[in-house]
RNA sequence: GCGGGUGUAGCUCAGUUGGUUAGAGCGCCAGUUUGUGGUAUUGGAUGUCGCCGGUUCAAAUCCGGUCACUCGCCCCA
């Protein structure tokens, strides 16, 4: 009973879903490579500190959403809840800090113990790009440009809006946080329960609270842009100038805050309203502090990650699997001849099936069901005369051709070189 | 983790104030067609009514629990 259903928050990728996923992954990797992001992959689990240090022990992701366990050697390991920390760790582990910048593309499963909802799974998939080793705002622009092109080529860009914000450098952020906490403390009892908690844990988060009472208070709260240092402002301006010049539309969203601790300066999200409360389809930002948290040198980095399942919900595309050719074996005595023919066709690159149902009629029925455009019918009579029957499934036309012409016939047919199907 | 909704055939869903053999469409299988599919026509099978317990003469229907899905919150991709 129990074993017959998948673990909560996991899902099988049946051919339809898998093909949809493949479309997304292929598009992501193709677009990323145009920007120089090279495909790489890290293990799906790491020492727990890889995530707990940079994400912050108190962050929800680490505090209650990680799948952690001890291995037989007693090490505390964690299934990765996101990709950036792993990629940064890999870069440091592999000594690449000596040859910066590095640009990586990755994709794969991530794990978070959350209450599942549409577009939110316990095992889900992300693709992402990381531009590591540059403080230049143009790197931010490159990352956002890549994300934009990816979404656009997938055909989901129109349903999303690019929200952009600057969190400023550490100095700006600390100043602002202090001022915000001071302001909100005056209204402590009027804030929602959640936000009263957030006041201690992650006050910036209150800015995008959905509770009405919070929104009312936030209206008059100090705004982050006013606290940006001149350097931080300059960084943001250079980025937005670049985006504007390239015709990439964006929208300032001063309430946009990244959930994870290591972000600074640029934060952005592509948000759709088509997915309810899981509207963030792709998100990212600058994380200059991450390397140092993991014991690496001080260096700048920007990146994004996109949720594959969420993207899949936005696209209809998928490729139905179809065969090209069916080999219909009429008599059991010629089964080996049928197999040899099918095998030959496959060697030539044709997707070929041998329908394994009784009776010729059902074999042909099967052939049309699985999308064959051609059926090659082979029986005792055909073998005797070194011929086969060719049936064109779309028109129903049928004729006899020599067995030696089968490959050339199929080749011509699928190249659509024949004027009328039977003229040669 | 908190709150709301849903759970009937492979799929989409009906099922009256509790009432006796639980239905439709699509799909599937078979016949009309023993070496010829699609269309048509005839027939057939769909099933632990999510699971466990309770109330009742009687439960798909009411109650409790549980599991799963779903929506919102939290959080995030």
What is the ipTM metric for this complex? 0.85
The gap between A398 CA and B39 C1' (Å) is: 19
User: Strand B closer than 7 Å to the CB of A129?
Assistant: no
Q: Which nucleotides of B are covered by protein (CB under 7 A)?
A: 1-2, 28, 30-31, 33-38, 67-77
Contacts 24+ apart (CB under 8 A), A404-412: A406/A341, A406/A344, A406/A345, A406/A376, A407/A344, A407/A345, A407/A348, A410/A324, A410/A325, A410/A345, A410/A348, A410/A350, A410/A374, A411/A348
The angle that helices A170-185 and A193-201 make with each other, rounded to 10 degrees, is 140
User: Strand B closer than 7 Å to the CB of A377?
Assistant: yes
Q: Which nucleotide is nearest to A1 (CA to C1')?
A: B51
| Domains of chain A with bracketed CATH | 2-169+229-314 (3.30.930.10), 325-414 (3.40.50.800)
Residues 338-357 of A with CB under 7 A from strand B: 357
Residues 135-174 of A with CB under 7 A from strand B: none
User: Strand B closer than 7 Å to the CB of A109?
Assistant: no
Residues 296-325 of A with CB under 7 A from strand B: 305-307, 309-310
User: What pLDDT was estimated at residue A144?
Assistant: 97
Q: Which residue has the tokens 């700048």?
A: A300
User: What pLDDT was estimated at residue A205?
Assistant: 82
User: What pLDDT was estimated at residue A283?
Assistant: 93
User: What pLDDT was estimated at residue A254?
Assistant: 85
At A230, list the tokens: 């001149």
Residues 179-218 of A with CB under 7 A from strand B: 194, 198, 202, 205, 209-211
Residues lower than pLDDT 50 in chain A = 1, 417-418, 421, 423-424
Q: Which nucleotide is nearest to A211 (CA to C1')?
A: B73
Q: Which nucleotide is nearest to A382 (CA to C1')?
A: B35
């Amino acid at each position: 009973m129990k074993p017959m259903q998948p673990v909560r928050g996991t899902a099988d990728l049946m051919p339809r879903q898998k093909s949809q996923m493949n479309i997304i992954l292929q598009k992501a990797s193709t677009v990323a490579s145009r920007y120089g992001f090279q495909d790489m992959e890290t293990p799906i689990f790491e020492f727990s500190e890889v995530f707990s240090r940079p994400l912050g022990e108190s962050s929800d992701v680490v505090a209650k959403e990680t799948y952690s366990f001890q291995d037989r050697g007693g090490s505390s390991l964690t299934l990765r809840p996101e990709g950036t920390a792993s990629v940064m760790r890999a870069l440091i582990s592999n000594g690449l800090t000596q040859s910066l910048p590095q640009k990586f593309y990755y994709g794969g499963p991530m794990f978070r113990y959350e209450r599942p909802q549409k577009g939110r799974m316990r095992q889900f998939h992300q693709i992402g790009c990381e531009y590591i080793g540059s403080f230049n705002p143009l790197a931010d622009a490159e990352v956002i440009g890549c994300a934009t092109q990816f979404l656009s080529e997938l055909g989901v860009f129109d349903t999303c809006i690019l929200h952009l914000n600057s969190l400023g450098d550490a100095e700006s952020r600390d100043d602002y946080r202090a001022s915000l906490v001071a302001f909100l403390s005056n209204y402590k009892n009027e804030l929602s329960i959640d936000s009263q908690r957030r006041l201690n844990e992650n006050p910036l988060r209150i800015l995008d609270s959905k509770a009405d009472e919070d929104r009312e208070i936030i209206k008059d709260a100090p705004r982050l842009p006013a606290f940006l240092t001149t350097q931080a402002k300059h960084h943001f301006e250079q980025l937005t100038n670049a985006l504007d010049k390239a015709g990439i539309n964006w929208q300032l969203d001063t309430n946009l805050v990244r959930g994870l601790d290591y972000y600074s300066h640029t934060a952005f999200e592509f948000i759709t309203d088509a997915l309810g409360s899981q509207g963030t389809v792709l998100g990212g930002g600058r994380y200059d502090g991450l390397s140092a948290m993991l014991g690496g040198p001080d260096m700048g980095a920007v990146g994004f990650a996109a949720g594959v399942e969420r993207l899949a919900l936005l696209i209809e595309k998928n490729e139905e699997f179809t065969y090209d050719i069916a080999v219909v074996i009429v008599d059991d005595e010629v089964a080996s001849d049928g197999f040899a023919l099918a095998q030959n066709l496959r060697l030539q690159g044709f997707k070929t099936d041998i329908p394994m149902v009784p009776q010729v009629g059902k074999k042909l029925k099967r052939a049309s069901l699985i999308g064959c455009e051609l059926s090659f019918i082979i029986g005792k009579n055909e073998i005797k005369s070194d011929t086969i029957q060719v049936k064109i499934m779309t028109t129903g036309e049928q004729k006899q051709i020599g067995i030696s012409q089968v490959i050339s016939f199929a080749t011509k047919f699928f190249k659509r070189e024949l004027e009328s199907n039977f003229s040669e």
